[in-house]
Amino acid sequence: MAACLYEPGLGYYTSPGRKVGAEGDFYTSSNVHEVFGRLIGREICRMWEIMGQPAGFQIVEVGAGNGRLASDIVGAIAELAPSLYAGLTYRFIEAEPSLADAQRLMLGEHAARGAWSSPADLAAGDLAITGCILSNELIDALPTHMVEMTADGLREVYVTARDGELAEVLEAPSTPDLQAYLDRIGIRLVEGQRAEINLAAGNWLAGVARSLVRGFVMTIDYGYPAAELYSSHRLNGTLLCYHRHTIEENPYIRPGEQDITSHVDFTSLSLRGAELGLQDVWFGEQYRFLMGAGMMEELLALEAKATTEPERIRHRLALKKLLLPDGGMGDTFRVLIQSRGVENPRLLCMRDWGKSF
């Protein structure tokens, strides 16, 4: 998975070509409508207020792609909180340096607010962030281990070559951390069940915690609490590929040309965060977050600005996709907000209560 997605010049995310949107392989919420970024911008304005309006405030987006979400967030902040905007730095953390030009272009008039750092800077804690560290559909694309419970105990799925093709083989786990991971969240897989164990997510969060001096971590992705993610009805796990807006279950074809993802274990992110000194602030479905952050206010503003009925319909259909289940993104995607050094934060999303773990 690491090679297929991130091999320099050859991996899915490190090679040329459109990955997101109509010309790519999948959509993200930020491509559906600009209101998604505006609502995150509203919540970040609230974070800044809760923190006492610090003069220097950073938004750090990890894995920002072409910068579409960043542009929408910064544009909303410029409109809603000019004092925050005046001291704002929007820092991009990217493994692929060539994306910086596209992100700078997307920021447009706000390009002076942009700054760029490497994942190594974040992991080492070199950035000393006061503000909000944000990721949108990042954790699902971190390379993951795949395991299977057998009659002889836990085994790991390895990739080998057989007759000129990629194939699987079951062997002893590569690290005792895999069994420890399951023990920690109280999960016992049934015989024949496969599951993904994303050790990289915990390591990534450790780097985030090292870099966050004071503020918030906002993680947006598709996934579940552990009890739901590792339920016995998911015998085949959640690993999927995306190619030209179709789902592909075979990760061993088109290497480097299709996205490979697995659902996020939000329970483990919460537990790891607590170990690292991060406090859980809010967790819930994306539609709850968006409604609490001010979706109705944004919808009314869009309705007022629209000059034709087709324009109004276009807005409604896009927002429906962001909010609703059954084909939309409303309950498939979850939002986890964690904090450091902020006492009893009362965020906008908390107007619509999230779920506990």
CA separation for the pair 156, 175 (Å, rounded): 9
More confident residue, 133 or 323: 133
Here the tokens at position 152 are 């002889």
Number of domains in the chain: 1
Dump pLDDT digits (tens) for 218-244: 999 999 999 999 999 999 999 999 887
More confident residue, 229 or 66: 229
Q: Are 237 and 195 in contact (CB under 8 A)?
A: yes
The pLDDT confidence band at residue 300, using thresholds 50, 70 and 90, is confident
C-alpha distances in angstroms, 144 versus 71, 136, 228? 30, 18, 18
The pLDDT confidence band at residue 247, using thresholds 50, 70 and 90, is confident
Q: Is residue 75 part of a domain?
A: yes
Q: Is residue 275 part of a domain?
A: yes
Q: Is residue 5 part of a domain?
A: no
User: Tell me, what amino acid is at 70?
Assistant: A
Q: Is residue 51 part of a domain?
A: yes
CA separation for the pair 166, 2 (Å, rounded): 15
Please identify which residue in the block is written with the tokens 């057998």.
150
Quote the percentage of the chain above a pLDDT of 90: 70
> Domain range spanning residue 269?
18-142+198-235+260-351
Residue 189 DSSP code: P
CA separation for the pair 81, 147 (Å, rounded): 48
User: Tell me, what amino acid is at 184?
Assistant: R
Q: Is residue 55 part of a domain?
A: yes
The CB-based long-range contact list for 314-320 (8 Å cut-off, 24+ gap) reads 315/33, 318/32, 318/33, 318/35, 319/33, 319/35, 319/295
Q: Is residue 173 part of a domain?
A: no
Q: Is residue 104 part of a domain?
A: yes
Dump pLDDT digits (tens) for 69-81: 999 999 999 999 9
Q: Is residue 217 part of a domain?
A: yes
User: Tell me, what amino acid is at 39?
Assistant: L
CATH number of the CATH domain containing 61? 3.40.50.12710
